[in-house]
Amino acid sequence: MSPMQIALIILVVLAAAAAVVLVLIASRRRALRTKFGPEYERAVAEQQTRAAAERELRERERRHAELTLTPLSAEARGRYAAEWEEIQARFVDSPAEAVGAADEVVTRLITERGYPTGDYDDRLAQLSVEHARTLGHYRDAHEIHLRNQRGEASTEQLRQAVVHYRALFTDLLGEEPVRQQDTDESRPDAQDVPSR
């Protein structure tokens, strides 16, 4: 083989290796985007580089894998669903107390599932691995809860907090906490239907 052919072979091998590396990087990036959803974009915005954000997300996955997460029993799901229904009912008379209760029950549920609850940022990082799609709701609810504690939240903001807490609560619970009855009386148009 001539030196020119050897150089050409080396260039082809290097180009192929570079293409494989680029495909692997793109594949890992796509997997992280899919898994973390909006949390991926948040991490990229918070870190200095995309690579640093992706390292952070992979580190979250590693730490999450060390957790011992436990599914809820049917009894526990029922108990939590009943508590949530009570919180929603309490909101009518005491919105501020209902938001505090929602924060408390969500924190208890997080703990019972096996997530850490000590440090808020660590809690967010651990939850982001499996609950990234509802984590923004949790952040918003927690922020309103903190404003509520300072006496700075309006009733509408408190309502939004309960709605936001419910999104993560439902995700952690694995089902809607309050089911609606599917009867003729519960349908809004029930009075419009003539009886036979």
Contact between 134 and 116 under an 8 Å Cβ cutoff? The reply is no
Those residues with Cβ within 8 angstroms of residue 98's Cβ, 6 or more apart along the chain or in another chain: 87, 88, 90, 91, 158, 162
Amino acid (1-letter code) at residue 98:
A
Contact between 168 and 141 under an 8 Å Cβ cutoff? The reply is yes
170 exposure class (CB count in 10 Å sphere: 0-12, 13-18, 19+): middle
What pLDDT does 95 receive? Answer: 95
Please write the tens of the pLDDT for every residue from 61-101: 999 999 999 999 999 999 999 999 999 999 999 999 999 99
| C-beta atoms surrounding 112 within 10 Å | 14
**Residue (of 120, 97, 113, 94) closest to 169 by Cα position:** 113
Q: What is the pTM of this model?
A: 0.74
> DSSP E strands: which ranges in the chain?
none
What pLDDT does 4 receive? Answer: 87
Could you tell me how far CA 117 lies from the centroid of its own chain? 15
135 exposure class (CB count in 10 Å sphere: 0-12, 13-18, 19+): buried
Please write the tens of the pLDDT for every residue from 132-191: 889 999 999 999 999 999 999 999 999 999 999 999 999 999 878 766 544 344 333 433
DSSP letter for each residue of 31-49: HHHHHHTHHHHHHHHHSSS
Highest mean pLDDT among 5-9, 28-32, 148-152: 148-152
